Amino acid sequence: MRQPTLFLTVGLPCTGKTTAARRIEIEQQALRLTKDEWVKALYGHENPPSAGAVLEGRLIQIGLRALELGNNVVIDFGLWSRDERSALRQAAADLGAAVEMRYFELAPAEQRRRLDRRQAEAPDTTWPMSDDELAQWAANLEIPTRGELDGSEPIDDPPAGFATWDEWRGYRWPPRRSNDPA
């Protein structure tokens, strides 16, 4: 049985992550998990923040199970924080899977142009995003290091207060929205 690979797409909106994820899906016979497609299918024009982390968590669970079964997986979320990427790198390692991380970046003007084009040509695939939101998100993005991208850098320890990355994943990607009954 071949070693499965977890592909992680990292970057801001409209930088090419989903286009690359679709290519990886075909070329690597990978299960593609694109959060925005699920949010659109479930919520339509809404993009409720309370649902994002839960949906990502559910898709990650599916992806990890697929890795466990020997399938390649591509996670198409953005993964802006190093902690998110470290947690997923560790989960893949725990399952004996390889990790390939791809980082996508664009100049803000090109990102805006792509977003405007997508909004005009396929508004059902995205949501409106202001320049202020794009700038705020860019400020929140922790750009992957070269060692993260090529896999040569060791995986960080979990943040303070968490004994394992698995525990942190449950915190970051909870099993249900906080206002939903158990």
Contact criterion met (CB below 8 Å) for 111 and 13: yes
pLDDT at 182: 52
Distances (CA, A) of 134 to 48, 53, 108, 118, 141: 17, 19, 8, 15, 11
**pLDDT level of residue 112 (50, 70, 90 thresholds):** confident
Contact criterion met (CB below 8 Å) for 64 and 95: yes
* Residue that wins the pLDDT comparison between 181 and 84: 84
Express each pLDDT in 158-171 by its tens digit. 999 999 999 999 99
Flag whether the pTM goes above 0.85.
Answer: yes
- Judge whether residue 181 has pLDDT over 60: no
CA-closest candidate to residue 42, choices 21, 26, 63, 56: 56
Express each pLDDT in 1-34 by its tens digit. 689 999 999 998 889 999 999 999 999 999 999 9
